[in-house]
Amino acid sequence: MDTQVNTILFDLDGTLIDTNDLIISSFLHVLGSYYPNRYKREDIYPFMGPTLRETFESINPEKVEEMIEAYRDFNITNHDLLVTEFPGVFETIRTLKESGYKIGIVTTKMMKTVKMGLALTNLDQFFDVVVALDHVKNPKPDPEPILKALEQLGSKPEEALMVGDNSHDILGGKNAGTKTVGVAWSLKGKEFLAGFEPDYILDHMADLLDILQVQSR
């Protein structure tokens, strides 16, 4: 790894914290009330990554606002019951922070629920910047949120890695000019992510320390 990398940006859902069951349950709750018995768990996988607005507009353009509201109500109510962190995340993030890396989050979820997830997993102490959906006009894969995070951190794209579990993260990083890192625990699978040609794929979050040649503490 080129030693010039000093900044690591992370997606949140599906990368640092395991919100898969929460997201799937939230979609099934909303869609089940509009379209009983039509959607199964695996039907939800394509909706993970895009914004809620993009997803619900593709399903029912007339009901987008009320579907988003119903989703968020269920999601927030059930958040702390269903969210956990992925193995090795806390220790790896702590080590990166202690080693002097600038670290941030770039996510397509709203800041209110970002704060809930970070507080629940005790990760809120580590991040220098969070760019959420309500901070930008154009979410990933547009480069805007990644470039905004880099600007706030005083970093350049060539000094940064974008780490995520979805095509939006890899393409967003490429569009912004960062190196890109996929995570093998993506719900869509390692092979799916490999198709977008990230620079690296992690089998475990601690693999990031090996790539960066950082000693665990």
Catalytic residue numbers? 11
Comparing C-alpha atoms, which of 18, 11, 12, 28 is closest to residue 82?
18
Q: Residues 136, 153: contact at Cβ < 8 Å?
A: no
Q: Residues 74, 4: contact at Cβ < 8 Å?
A: no
Q: DSSP E strands: which ranges in the chain? A: 7-10, 17-18, 84-85, 102-106, 129-131, 160-164, 179-183, 200-202
- Tell me the one-letter amino acid at 105: I
Residue partners of 34: CB distance under 8 A and separation at least 6? 60, 63, 67
CA dist 139 and 144 (Å) reads 7
CA dist 49 and 152 (Å) reads 24
CA distances from 199 to 71, 102, 196 (A): 34, 20, 10
